[in-house]
Amino acid sequence: MKHSAYRAFEPVSFSQVTIEDAFWGPRLQINREKTIPHIYHMCQQTGRLDAYRLDWKPGDEHIPHQFWDSDVAKWIEAASYSLVSMPDPALDALLDEVIALIASAQQADGYLNPHYTVVEPDKRWANLRHGHELYCAGHLIEAAVAHFQATGKSTLLTVACRYADYIATIFGQEPGMKRGYCGHEEIELALVKLYRVTHNTRYLQLSQYFIDERGQTPCYFDTEPAPDYHALGLEYHQAHQPVREQTEVVGHAVRAMYLYSAMVDLFCETGDETLLQACKRLWHHLCSKRMFLTGGIGSSMLNEGFSSDYDLPNDTAYAETCAAIGLVLWCHRMLQVECDAQYTDIMERALYNGVLSSVSQDGTTFFYVNPLATQADLARQRWFDCACCPTNITRLLASFGHYIYSQNEHELVVHLYVQGTVRAKIQGQPVVLRQETAYPWDGRVNLTVELEGPVEFALRLRIPGWSSGAMLMVNGERVDLNGLSEHGYAKIERVWSNADRLTLFFPLPLVRMYASPEIAADIGLVALQRGPLVYCLESIDNAVPLHRLVLPRTSAVQIVDESDSGLDGVVTGIADALAVGSTDWEEATLYRPQPPGMQPAALKAIPYYLWGNRGVTTMRVWLHEQSI
C-alpha cells in the first residue's frame, strides 16, 4: 500500500486488529455468519449474479439493472474483508467462482457492465447523469482492491485495471474524449485506492480529472440526450459549482459523502489545499445545520438528501443508511489529515446510531431509511430493489477494525474504544496495544502496552466530546488531561516499557440533549443520550402512546442493566413521567377550550440502534418536556 504524502496519519489495517469486544464482536460474527451469506443468496435469487452470464434476452425475467453490479461488488468487498479476520476456505472458493464469472463478462476493450452489454448495448456512456456506469466501475475497483489485499490474488484486480485503463481512454480533456463524469460519485475515491495499490499514476490523474471537471460550465449533463427525469437540478449531483467553490452540503446525501471522501483522498496524494479547505467548509455546514442527532444525514425523500438549513424532521427523516456510512468514510479520511476529535465524535455518533440501527440483530433484515419517529409503519426488509444499503452495511462491518486506530512513525492513535489488540510498528519496533473495556455500557478502558524493549513514541487517546469529567491514569498515577489535550486527544509522549498500563474513565450518565432553536421540529422536545448512544422510546416498553408522554425537567432518568425483554446486557433508561390524559376527554370531542389533564406515567428508553427488533412498533427519539 502506497503511503500518502500529505496525511499526518495512516489507518492501521484491520488485518492488524483483533476484536474481542462484547458489543462489536457478536455483530461482526453475525455479519460474517448471517449477513454475508444472506446477501449472496439474494444476489443469486434476484439474478444479479446470473446477469454476468450475458445470456439475458428480451422477455426473460430479472432484467439486469444498471446498478446491480455494485451490489455484487460490495458483497465481494465484504467477503474479502471477512477472510482476513475469519479465514474460510469455502468462502474463499466461492469468491474465486464469482470473480471468474465477472471476468468472463468483460468485453474485449475492457468494458464491464451487464446491463449496457445485453440490455442497452447502444447506450454505453450515453447517460452519465443517471446511468451509474462509472459508479458501478468504482465499486468493482474497490472490490478488486479489497480482494487483492485480503488474499493476494490478482484476478479481479487485473479485471479492474483493464476496465480503468479503458475508462481512461474515454474520459478527459483531450480532443475526442468525453468531458463527462458520473452522476453518482464513487469512482473518484475508488481510483485513488487503485493508485495506492498499483502505483500507476494514470488512475490518480483520472480521479483528479473527474473531481476537477465536476461543476464546470458548460455542464456536461446538459449535453446528454437522456432527460433529467428526476428534475432535481445539478445540486442533486453536486455539479452546480466546481467542487472547490462549494460551501453548502446539497443534493443526494450519499453522492455528496463519496465526493467529499474523494476530495480528501486527492488532497492526501497531491497536497491541494483548496480541496481540503472546501471539505472543512462543507463539514462545518453539515454538522452545524444539516445533521440529525443520530448522525443520520439527508432529510428529504424527494432527493434522498439535503433540503434546507435546520430542516430536520423526525417522522419523515430520510437518513439513508448509505448516507450515514458515507459520513463515516468522510470522517475517517479527515481524521488521517488532522487528528481532531470533532471528526471522530461524528464518526462514532454515526457508527453507533445512524449506521447500526439499519441492520437487525439477526443480521438478515435492513432499514433503507432511519427516521427518528415512526407510527408503527416501518419494518426492516430482507432486501430492496435498490439494495445499496444492505450491501453497504455488510462491507463496513466486515472492515470495522480499520476505523479504530491510526499511526505514523512516532505516534499511535486510539480513535474508538473496542476491546481487543492492535499490532503496529513504531520507529521500526513492534508495538502491541491491548484494550480491555465494556464500552459503551461502561466508561472504563484499560490499555496495556506490550513491547520487546523500551520504545519512545506518543500515544494519542480520544477524549470524546460528549464526556465530562474524564480521568486518565498511567501506571497507577493520575495525570492531568488538560495538560495533554490536543484537539480532543490526550497525547502521552514518553519512553514506553513492556506492560505499561493506562486507565481511562468516562462517566456515563444518561443526559438530556436539546436541539438548536432553529430546528422547528424539536422545539419543546428533549432527547436522551448515554455516551455515544442516542436513546429512543418504543411502544412495546411504554403503556402510554408515545406522543402523549411528557418528561418533566425535574424527573431523574435512571439507568438499568437489562436481563430480559430481548435486551440482555443492554443499559436502558427509566423515568417518572407524565401522560397527557384522555380519560376526561370525550371521544366525540375533537377540540375544546379546556386543556386535558396530566396523569403519572412511567417511561422507558432503549438505545436507538436496537429499535424495531421486537416487532413493528411506534418509536420516537425526541420527547415532550415539561420545563416547570
Q: Across all residues in the chain, what is the average pLDDT? A: 96
Residues designated catalytic: 304, 388
Q: Which of 609, 40, 150 is nearest to 402 (CA)?
A: 150
Q: d(Cα 226, Cα 467) in Å, to the nearest integer?
A: 52
Q: What is the pLDDT of residues 186-238, one digit of tens each?
A: 999 999 999 999 999 999 999 999 999 999 999 999 999 877 777 899 999 99
pLDDT at 566: 64
> What residues does 429 pair with on adjacent strands?
426
Decide: residue 147, CB within 10 A, 0-12 exposed, 13-18 middle, 19+ buried: buried
Query: What's this model's pTM, rounded to 2 decimal places?
Result: 0.97
Domain ranges across the chain? 1-7+251-395, 46-225, 407-505, 510-626
> What confidence tens digit (pLDDT) does each residue in 567-598 have?
768 999 999 999 998 778 888 999 999 999 99
Q: Is the pLDDT of residue 311 over 90?
A: yes
The answer on pLDDT for 143 being more than 90 is: yes
pLDDT band at 603 (very low <50, low <70, confident <90, very high): very high
Question: What average pLDDT does the segment 24-42 reach?
Answer: 97
Q: Is 547 left (phi over 0), alpha (psi -120 to 50) or beta?
A: alpha
Comparing 1-7+251-395 with 407-505, is the CATH topology the same? no
* All three cell numbers of 324: 450515514
CATH for the stretch 1-7+251-395 = 1.50.10.20
The answer, yes or no, to whether residue 261 has pLDDT greater than 70, is yes
Topology, domain 407-505 = Immunoglobulin-like (2.60.40)
Q: Is the dihedral of CA 38, 42, 48, 53 positive or negative?
A: positive
CB-count burial class (<10 Å; 0-12, 13-18, 19+) for 201 = exposed
- Per-residue DSSP letters for 396-453? HHHTGGGGTEEE-SSEEEE-S--SEEEEEEETTEEEEEEEEE-TTTS-EEEEEEEESS
pLDDT tier at 283, thresholds 50, 70, 90: very high
Residues in the chain: 628
